[in-house]
Chains A and B, each alone.
Chain A
Amino acid sequence: MASIALENLAHSYLPNPGGNNDFALKEVNHIWEDGRAYALLGPSGCGKTTLLNVISGLLTPTSGRILFGDKDVTASSTAERNIAQVFQFPVVYDTMTVGKNLAFPLRNRGMEAGYVSERVQRIAQMIGLEADLHKKARGLTSDLKQKISLGRGMVRDDVNAILFDEPLTVIDPHLKWELRTQLKSLHREFGHTMIYVTHDQTEALTFAEKVVVMHEGRVVQIGTPKELFETPAHVFVGYFIGSPGMNFIPVSVTGNKAHINGNTIHLHHDYGNPQGDILLGIRPEFVRLSKSDGLPVQINRIQDVGRHKFINATLFDTEINISADEGFEIESDMVKITFDPANMGIFCDDWRLNGKAIDHGNGGTV
Chain B
Amino acid sequence: MTHPTAGLGFKPEHFADALSCSAAGMWYEIHAENYMVAGGSRMAMLDALSEQHPISVHGVGLSLASDDEPDQQHLLKLKHVVDRTEAFIVSEHLAWNKWQGIHVPDLLPFPRTSDALHVIVRNIDIAQNTLQRKLLIENPSLYLSLATHDWSEPDFLKELVSRTGCGLLVDVNNVFVSTYNVGGDAQDYLDQLPIDAIGEIHLAGHVSESQDAIELLIDNHGAAICDEVWKLYQHLIQRIGSRPTLIERDTDIPAFDELLGERGYAAEMMNSTAINMERDRVHAA
A and B associate: no
Query: Residues of A at under 8 Å CB distance from B?
Result: none
Query: Residues of B at under 8 Å CB distance from A?
Result: none
